[in-house]
């Protein structure tokens, strides 16, 4: 199969903002077979190009925009990752985004963009198929992300796809993400701040090609075969309700954290029952799907009819994580306010998980007298005080007053406020915790603490996957032992999914044991499922090697006592539960072949994966 008939283009775009030099870098086919795309390819490229100890907000950090191997093809590939050294954790950073930006970039002829250096003025990168140039962005600097996208579409045409930062990224908030499609945000790891530090306001892409392999008969046959195997009940559920379909039930099941992880849904947040998927769906104007998605789990709102929450028509429906971080975590049960808070985060370019969590942290500090109105600019940060939550979010995005204290996330805010705030700081490794409680599902703990990007709920897949899993998953949450091998493969599976540009929900609904067939049909390769699994393991080890090289040790990350049930909760679904974290950690690291004390991958494992140079670099 020639490059012209293949899922990948065989080239990356290198951009040096110091010299304004833009070069096309040819990439061999075996590179893609070893790392796919997305953060798989990104982990290899950035390990090689970012020097050890580089300042995440300095010129030597490299910011990558990396579509997946299957992004832009008929095989449901819509996602891309932003990658860089994280200013939030000091180690490996990646963030996942949907919409149409990843496919647009691939369709324009590029498998990724690697940006180094720092511009001396605001710029944006304009890509028109093979042509790429840096343009002045002075008139865009200061605009929010939605305004920026609209301005660039007006300038370059409606079919322009834009990835950009809002004011939060410009002001180097470590909770800033990279935004596209008016509210799809690659949110975690603080990578919007990296983009802001480089004074890169946006990347705008025009592509004349509509779809890769659009007319390939084998590809089309495989796509039809896959679609026939999709779970119709699951597709219907996600299409109708999206992730908010689980919000109400999760608030009472013990899955959702309540009241900054200190409460119980039924007792402290009974209004959570009103946050149902059906109630939210009734407020939507039309469905929304990322590029060519067969599930289309999103939706866009009607005009707000509530003057307190003036979100515009076609604001994206908030996802489950957003509804919980600004809902049960702060005891806010107002559905319209959640849409408005989601809109504000999308416009300012903020990670909704982090922003909601840092406000919950501040509320608990306020409720316990650690901070007062004198600190908070007169704002009464009380549980369920929705106007106060909105006002503080605005201050965070603009770095005004007390918002400046909170703008870099919980870890830095706790250091600024003082030791009395630390019991309320629900973060690991500098990253705010997501909205799933490991006391209900213990494997989340392993990912939250030990993944190179800490506190990430999407870095493993809890469901059995035919052909992938190492044995059965332990069902009894009281049993810590025996989870390591399953979790290792469940994490490596997600590395394949992400590096192919696939969506978590597409693979949940679809026949994921056929991913190797989708890869082969779109590349001309003959990969077995075992070889594909090997790529996932290679990516896992590269991400961890980067983390270790930068001096980080996930095994020594401090974990909030509340997270693990120390002491155990006295009531609710998680009452009496204390996680056996020693067993969870030990067996996972053993399964991965990583050192129990340092998390360093072994030389034998790295050599086995074709990464002997990486072993040399980290002293394995």
Q: Which domains does the chain have, with CATH numbers?
A: 3-206 (3.60.9.10), 243-425 (1.10.569.10), 443-618 (1.10.599.10)
Mean pLDDT of 521-534: 96
Residue with tokens 């549980």, as numbered in its chain: 383
Three-state secondary-structure class, residue 516: helix
Contact 447, 585 (CB under 8 A): no
Residue with tokens 């509509």, as numbered in its chain: 210
End-to-end Cα separation, the chain, in angstroms: 38
Strand partners, 93: 84
| Helix 443-450, helix 484-500: angle, nearest 10 | 60
- pLDDT category of residue 1 using cuts at 50, 70 and 90: low
Measured CA distances, 189 to 89, 118, 178, 205, 278 (Å)? 7, 19, 11, 24, 32
pTM over cut 0.95: yes
pLDDT for the residue numbered 2: 55
pLDDT, tens only, 365-418: 999 999 999 999 999 999 999 999 999 999 999 999 999 999 999 999 999 999
Neighbours of 478 (CB within 10 A): 10
Average pLDDT score, the chain: 96
Q: Which residues of 213-238 are buried (b: 16+ CB within 10 A; e: fewer)?
A: beebeebeebbeebeeebeeeebebb
Nearest to 549 by CA among 202, 54, 138: 54
pLDDT for the residue numbered 464: 66
- Cβ burial, residue 281 (10 Å; 0-12/13-18/19+): middle
| DSSP symbols for 122-182 | -EEEEEETTEEEEEE-TTTTT--HHHHHHHHHHHH-TT-EEEE--HHHHTT-TTB-EEETT
Contact 104, 67 (CB under 8 A): no
- Element containing residue 80 per DSSP (H, E): strand 80-85
Residue with tokens 């005080």, as numbered in its chain: 385
**Cα 378 from Cα 376, distance rounded (Å):** 5
**Cα 54 from Cα 549, distance rounded (Å):** 11
Contact 578, 473 (CB under 8 A): no
- pLDDT category of residue 4 using cuts at 50, 70 and 90: low
**Cα 604 from Cα 334, distance rounded (Å):** 54
pLDDT, tens only, 22-62: 999 999 999 999 999 999 999 999 999 999 999 999 999 99
- pLDDT category of residue 465 using cuts at 50, 70 and 90: confident
Three-state secondary-structure class, residue 67: strand
pLDDT for the residue numbered 3: 56
- pLDDT category of residue 466 using cuts at 50, 70 and 90: confident
**Cα 223 from Cα 226, distance rounded (Å):** 5
- pLDDT category of residue 463 using cuts at 50, 70 and 90: confident
Contact 463, 508 (CB under 8 A): yes
């Amino acid at each position: 199969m020639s490059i012209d008939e293949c899922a990948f283009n065989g080239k990356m775009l290198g951009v040096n903002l110091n010299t304004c030099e833009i070069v096309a870098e040819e990439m061999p086919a075996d590179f893609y077979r070893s790392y796919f795309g997305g953060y798989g390819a990104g982990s290899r490229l950035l390990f090689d190009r970012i020097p050890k100890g580089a300042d995440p907000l300095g010129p030597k950090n490299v910011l990558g925009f990396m579509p997946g191997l299957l992004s832009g093809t008929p095989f449901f590939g819509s996602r891309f990752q932003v990658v860089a050294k994280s200013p939030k954790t000091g180690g490996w950073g990646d963030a996942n985004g949907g919409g149409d930006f990843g496919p647009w970039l691939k369709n324009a002829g590029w498998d990724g963009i690697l940006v180094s250096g720092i511009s001396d003025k605001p710029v944006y990168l304009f890509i028109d198929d093979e042509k790429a140039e840096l343009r002045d962005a002075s008139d865009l600097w200061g605009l929010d992300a939605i305004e920026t996208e609209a301005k660039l579409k007006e300038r370059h045409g409606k079919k322009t796809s834009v990835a950009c930062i809002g004011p939060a990224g410009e002001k180097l908030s470590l909770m800033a993400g990279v935004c596209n499609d008016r509210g799809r945000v690659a949110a975690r790891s603080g990578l919007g701040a990296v983009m802001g530090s480089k004074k890169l306001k946006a990347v705008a892409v025009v592509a004349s090609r509509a779809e890769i392999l659009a007319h390939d008969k084998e590809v089309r046959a495989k796509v039809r075969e896959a679609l026939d195997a999709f779970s119709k009940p699951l597709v219907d559920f996600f299409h109708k309700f999206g992730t908010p379909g689980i919000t109400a039930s999760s608030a009472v099941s013990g899955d959702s954290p309540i009241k900054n992880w200190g409460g119980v849904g039924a007792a402290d947040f009974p209004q959570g029952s009103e946050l149902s998927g059906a109630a939210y769906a009734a407020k939507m104007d039309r469905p929304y799907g990322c590029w060519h998605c067969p599930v289309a789990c999103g939706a866009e709102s009607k005009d707000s009819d509530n003057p307190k929450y003036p979100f515009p028509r076609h604001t994206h429906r908030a996802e489950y994580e957003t509804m919980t971080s600004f809902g049960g975590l702060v005891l806010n049960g107002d559905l319209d306010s959640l849409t408005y808070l989601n809109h504000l985060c999308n416009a300012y370019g903020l990670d909704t998980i982090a922003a909601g969590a840092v406000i919950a942290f501040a509320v608990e500090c306020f409720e316990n007298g650690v901070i007062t109105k004198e600190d908070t600019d007169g704002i009464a940060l009380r549980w369920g005080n929705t106007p106060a939550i909105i006002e503080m979010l605005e201050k965070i995005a603009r770095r005004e007053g007390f918002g400046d204290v909170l703008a870099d996330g919980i870890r830095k805010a706790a250091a600024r406020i003082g030791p009395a705030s630390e019991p309320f700081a629900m973060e690991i490794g500098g990253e705010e915790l997501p909205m799933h409680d490991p006391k209900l599902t213990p494997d989340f703990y392993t990912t939250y603490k030990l993944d190179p990007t800490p506190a990430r709920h999407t870095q493993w897949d809890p469901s059995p996957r035919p052909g992938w899993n190492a044995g059965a998953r332990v069902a009894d949450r009281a049993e810590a032992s025996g989870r390591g091998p399953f979790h290792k493969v469940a994490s490596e599976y997600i590395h394949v999914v992400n590096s192919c540009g696939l969506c978590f929900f597409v693979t949940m609904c679809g026949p994921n044991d056929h991913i190797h067939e989708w890869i082969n049909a779109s590349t001309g390769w003959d990969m077995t499922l075992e070889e594909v699994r090997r790529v996932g393991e290679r990516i896992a080890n590269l991400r961890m090697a980067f983390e270790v090289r930068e001096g980080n040790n996930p095994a020594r990350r401090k974990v909030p006592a509340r997270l693990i049930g120390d002491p155990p909760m006295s009531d609710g679904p998680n009452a009496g539960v204390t996680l056996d974290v020693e067993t969870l950690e030990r067996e996972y690291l053993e399964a991965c072949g990583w050192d129990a004390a340092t998390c360093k991958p072994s030389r034998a494992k790295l050599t086995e994966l074709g990464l002997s140079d990486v072993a040399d670099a980290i002293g394995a």
